[in-house]
Structure 1
Amino acid sequence: MSISDLFASIEPLEGPTVATIGTFDGVHLGHQALLQRVQDEAAKRGAKSVAFVFKEQPRAFIKPSTQVTYLSDFETRREILTKIGIDHVIELEFSSAIQKLSSDEFVGALRDRIGLVSLILGPGAMIGSDRAGVEQLSATSEHTDIDFIGVPAIVVDGEAVSSSVIRIAIVSGNCELASKMLGRNYSISGIVADGEKRGREIGFPTANIEPKFPATVPENGIYATLVEVDGETHKSATSIGVRPTFETDGGRTIEAYLLDFDGDLYTKRLRLEFVTRLRAEVAFDSVEQLVEQMNKDVEQTRQILANN
């Protein structure tokens, strides 16, 4: 397959364009700084801004046995990038053909296809089979008419913001750090599936949420959360875990109890925002003890979310 055939799915642009490339999982503060630089450079050059977005992380292709989870699905990433003001958000599928391209071949294809005049990369980003970063591209690329610009990392609480660091924070139950790095509460979207209705039986009807993509799920425990459904936001207490009071080998579930809500949520699409982790998941000796603790969890959730 020729390089021109490989990029045939990309709609040609007249140019000039300033572009960046990445998965942009979560579109966190570091991504936002990178995208702002793309827009600023495009404005200075009278160019259009372009973001090439991998729908799936390249490492999912390179190491298919690796379990990969995401902070946001592709549709959400595309929506956020469009809202930020990127002129063209282009889906790019990582493949063995792309993997084999050298950095010069890749850049040359973009120049020919979209009139690329500048490529802007985030910290540590490398392209091509030769794994070229901004310094190498600037020094050795045959495309001397193209500017290569690197954007430094954004630091939060002494740590460089990255999707991997955010995922670690989430699976550790550290909602606060994840929110700081994302610039918003971490959220999971999904459809409400039919559950075993144990919550309803003890006075706490819950929505059993099934994410529609391989989402990064927080550590097992109880969380103060916000639920958006049908355009309205509701306070909620959410349990993630295996329901050890009832089962010894149950599957992992995400169950949200919406405070002061009376309605049917089955089959509806919810967006669940995580604000803070209240406690770990516990196996109680009786249902009565569980209900007593759940009442405390709900009251604590009300206090935490009082201003939301």
Structure 2
Amino acid sequence: MQLIHLNYPVKQSTLPSKVVLALGFFDGVHRGHQHLISIAKDVANEKHLPLMVLTFDRHPSEVYAGNKNFVYIDDLEEKAYKMEKAGVDYLAVLKFTEAFSRISGQEFVDNVIVELNADTVVAGFDYTYGPKEIANMAHLPEFAKNRFEIINVPKQTFEGEKIGSTEIRRAIAAGDMELVYDLLGHHYVMNGIVGHGKRNGHKLGYPTANLIWNSKKAIPKIGVYATKTKIAGKWYDSMTSVGYNVTIGDSKQIYIESNIFDFDEDIYGQPIAIKWYKYTRGEEKFAGLDELKEQLHKDKEVVEEYFASNLEK
């Protein structure tokens, strides 16, 4: 897959052929996105054309709504990895600027879609490309002027509720990692490197890898989780805490710390990934380190029992 960075106005595509163009922000590349991309891929195969996905370098609400605290399910590297696995040939990332946020729907069609040499456009029912009252899927045929075909993909649902990135972020914030799995079609993953912590877990016999993560990633609810942690390409069962270390008096900074089962190596500075499975309890303040150590022993038993009875995932 080729990653292409674009600025507006888009210069005429240098691709050797027309493309099937899938539109969306695709945060998380969840089950709804996967369905849309599979439809686009089928069309591309039928027409013997490459599949291009067009996304933006940041969520539009960061610009038009000034939402500087927006959090993401995936960073660009994670999104690109999922797109490649889905069979996308080109991932085009358009820089979303304040000036770009003010263009009309017709300008988007003329100066982006047409310039990308789209033969067919595939987008979700709620996709917008300008003022939502006008620049929506219902009006796209008017702007297209028969220059490309349009496939409008209907809403995808799970147990009667829309599958959407907003719903997934809400579930992550609530610690409902099992719902996150159902909506994403895979477990939520946070990537980062191992940083230096305070080594309190090591003193208690439960050494932890302190995750240094992308600050724009969605963070699960404060508490303890059944997780798997990847080191050097191998996944290990683990239990991970998200919290403030209240027992040792640190109530200002959030830490994400993974105790990796059957693993005892120095991995400071190395890349790791944490895959989130189930919330097991909230953060508690204990009377002392002995009480905390006893709870950590119980936590490990709970997590081991969870993985023993959920081998299929």
Q: Return the TM-score normalized by structure 1.
A: 0.93
Aligned residues of 1:26 and 1:71 also touching (Cα < 8 A): yes
Match for residue 253 of structure 2? 251
Q: 1:111 to 1:74 in 2, by over 3 A?
A: closer
Aligned residues of 1:6 and 1:97 also touching (Cα < 8 A): no
Match for residue 3 of structure 2? none
Aligned residues of 2:62 and 2:70 also touching (Cα < 8 A): yes
1:87 to partner: Cα distance: 1.5
Q: Which amino acid aligns with 1:77?
A: K
Structure 1: distance between partners of 2:215 and 2:56 = 15
Listed as ranges, the matches of 1:149-228 within 5 Å are 149-228=151-230
Deviations 1:96-147 (A, max 9, x none): 3322322222222245423212211113111134642221112x22522322
1:213 to partner: Cα distance: 4.3
| Stretch deviating more after TM superposition (145-154 or 199-208) | 145-154
| Stretch deviating more after TM superposition (274-283 or 77-86) | 77-86
Aligned residues of 1:226 and 1:236 also touching (Cα < 8 A): yes
Instruction: Count residues with an aligned counterpart.
Output: 304
Structure 2: distance between partners of 1:110 and 1:290 = 57
Structure 2: distance between partners of 1:109 and 1:63 = 23
Match of 2:138 among 135, 139, 145: 135
Match for residue 94 of structure 1? 96
Structure 2: distance between partners of 1:160 and 1:88 = 27
1:37 to partner: Cα distance: 1.3
Aligned residues of 2:61 and 2:67 also touching (Cα < 8 A): no
Aligned residues of 1:108 and 1:143 also touching (Cα < 8 A): no
1:232 to partner: Cα distance: 0.6
Aligned residues of 1:166 and 1:178 also touching (Cα < 8 A): yes
Match for residue 236 of structure 1? 238
1:20 to partner: Cα distance: 1.8
SS state at 1:31 partner: helix
Structure 2: distance between partners of 1:67 and 1:5 = 25
SS state at 2:277 partner: strand
Match for residue 297 of structure 1? 299
Deviations 1:143-182 (A, max 9, x none): 2232222111221122111011000001101000000111
Q: Which amino acid aligns with 1:240?
A: V
**4+ runs of 1 displaced by more than 6 Å?**
none
Listed as ranges, the matches of 1:27-106 within 5 Å are 27-106=29-108
- List alignment gaps of at least 5 residues for structure 2: 1-6
Match for residue 4 of structure 2? none
Deviations 1:48-107 (A, max 9, x none): 211012121111122334411111110110121112111211111111332232222222
Q: 1:67 to 1:78 in 2, by over 3 A?
A: same
Q: How well do the aligned residues superpose, as a CA RMSD in angstroms? A: 1.9
Aligned residues of 1:221 and 1:280 also touching (Cα < 8 A): yes
1:13 to partner: Cα distance: 2.0
Q: 1:222 to 1:151 in 2, by over 3 A?
A: same
Q: Which amino acid aligns with 1:49?
A: L
Q: 1:125 to 1:274 in 2, by over 3 A?
A: same
| Stretch deviating more after TM superposition (91-100 or 214-223) | 91-100
Q: Which amino acid aligns with 1:181?
A: L
SS state at 2:246 partner: coil
Q: 1:223 to 1:5 in 2, by over 3 A?
A: closer
SS state at 2:235 partner: strand
Match for residue 272 of structure 2? 270
Q: Which amino acid aligns with 1:223?
A: Y
Q: Which amino acid aligns with 1:216?
A: A
Structure 1: distance between partners of 2:54 and 2:34 = 14
| Stretch deviating more after TM superposition (123-132 or 266-275) | 123-132
Aligned residues of 2:125 and 2:137 also touching (Cα < 8 A): no
SS state at 2:206 partner: coil
Aligned residues of 1:244 and 1:283 also touching (Cα < 8 A): yes
SS state at 2:247 partner: coil
Q: 1:288 to 1:229 in 2, by over 3 A?
A: same
| Stretch deviating more after TM superposition (56-65 or 84-93) | 56-65
